[in-house]
Amino acid sequence: MGELRFAEREALLFRAATALIVAHVLVDSFVALEPGASRVEHVPAAAIAVALGAVAAWRYPRLRPGLRGALALLYGVLALAAGGVAAVHTAGPGPSGDDWTGLLLLPAGVALLLLGSAVLWRSRKSGGRRWLRRALIAIAAALVAFWIVVPLVVSLVATHNPRDAVEPADLGRPYKQVSLETSDGLRLAGWYVPSENGAAILAYPGRSGPVPHARMLAAHGYGVLLLDMRGRGESEGDPNAFGWGATNDVAAGVAYLRARPDVEDGRIGGLGLSVGGEQLLEAAAEGVELRAVVSEGAGSRSIREDLTRGLAGWPSLPTAAIQTGATAVFSWDVPPPSLEELVARISPVPILLVYAGNGQGGEDLNPTYFDAAHEPKTLWEIPEAGHTGGLETRPDE
């Protein structure tokens, strides 16, 4: 009788928590949209999430205890990740939109984790080779967490990251607010420091990370455009921390600079940090009219880059595959071409690839990109620097 009551409560709790997750997905997709986002573009991802939730809730009581426990733990981690995003946003500018349903996922996630742990504990077996069995289960759980759970959480956060507040900055010279429109209809927000030497640089992305670089360039008379990437800062659109689709943002920024009376024809360059460097390289390869590109901290943005590692990269491929697939579903976008493929198409535009010895996110792939690129090209490693820390580490150079 006790086991029966536990099974009934277990199924009820899982289904209730899953219903909260599905409700949050629907609110996020169709009610509390990001400015400029399209409900139509959210339909496929929302349909997949709802279908998976419905199947999980229906099949849950019929699964073996081990699978029920694992499923509850997986849903619990994802619920906590989504709830954590809402909590971060609430702690900053305050709750809005889907934050209310997101905050409900925090207790739901905790309940699912407790439920999954309880199911696994009650289903443990005694006698025989139980220690060997438990050791194998622990190893399998660690691999599942590394290869599946972690990349799922990373993709979820990357495509639902709260916006950063835009604070006034000292760029060394006066700047003006600008508003641009991309070819796919999004409004982007930025700052522009007018040029004094007839040349201008797009320092990308955002209006916080490239501020020291913008100040340096402005001090030498360059015009500098700082632009919030889509879904970030005050720009419209859905966020994607990997920068998928943001090449249109670079093209809009360059078009703005080309129309400026203080910028001479053919004197527009780009300086990109991290994902910004990746987007500038892609834009240059796609024909956006940049006279030169400096990319600092470019790395891996999908499994396409990880495949360039060859045999040495095989252990990380399951993680990269799950992360890429999840990002594609969450954003309903296809992964961009590999940077190794793109850099080969940039010449004769000169590129400078800068990477740190203590970098992150695949930054060590820059020598591979350098080998694939054609002249003119330069590679600069800064062994003692952290990710995008070149200016801070070696300001004179």
Q: What is the pLDDT of residues 103-160, one digit of tens each?
A: 999 999 999 999 988 888 887 766 656 677 667 766 777 777 888 899 999 999 999 9
Residue 150 lies in a domain: no
E-only strand ranges, 116-159: none
Show which of 124, 141, 157 is a domain's final residue.
124
Residue 345 lies in a domain: yes
Residue 387 lies in a domain: yes
Handedness of CA 360, 323, 316, 368 (dihedral sign): negative
Query: What DSSP state is assigned to residue 147?
Result: I
User: In the numeric block, which tokens belong to residue 230?
Assistant: 């889509």
Domain that holds residue 342: 176-301+337-393
**Could you count the other beta carbons within 10 Å of the beta carbon of residue 332?**
18
Full-model pTM: 0.91
Domain count for the chain, please give it: 2
Residue 311 lies in a domain: no
Question: Residue holding tokens 């691999």?
Answer: 143
Mean pLDDT for 298-302 is: 95
**23 & 110 share domain:** yes
Question: Residue holding tokens 């490239």?
Answer: 210
Show which of 124, 144, 165 is a domain's final residue.
124
More confident position, 294 or 359: 294
**350 & 242 share domain:** yes
**376 & 261 share domain:** yes
Query: In the prediction, which pLDDT does 130 show?
Result: 67
**233 & 345 share domain:** yes
Contact, 195 vs 170, CB < 8 A? no
Task: Give which of 350, 395, 394 is closest to 373, Cα–Cα.
Answer: 350
pLDDT digits (tens, 9 = 90+) for 157-190: 999 988 888 999 999 999 999 999 999 999 999 9
Residue 276 lies in a domain: yes
**346 & 212 share domain:** yes
**111 & 184 share domain:** no
**22 & 92 share domain:** yes
Query: In the prediction, which pLDDT does 137 show?
Result: 67
Task: Label residue 93 by pLDDT band (50, 70, 90).
Answer: confident
Share of the chain above pLDDT 70, in %: 96
pLDDT digits (tens, 9 = 90+) for 152-165: 999 999 999 888 88
Task: Label residue 90 by pLDDT band (50, 70, 90).
Answer: confident
Task: Label residue 319 by pLDDT band (50, 70, 90).
Answer: very high
**371 & 229 share domain:** yes
pLDDT digits (tens, 9 = 90+) for 321-370: 999 999 999 999 999 999 999 999 999 999 999 999 988 889 999 999 99
Residue 58 lies in a domain: yes
| Residues paired with residue 204 on neighbouring β-strands, in sequence order | 272
Residue 135 lies in a domain: no
Mean pLDDT for 369-385 is: 97
Phi, psi (deg, nearest 5) at residue 307 = -65, -20
Query: In the prediction, which pLDDT does 121 show?
Result: 81
Residue 205 lies in a domain: yes
**115 & 194 share domain:** no
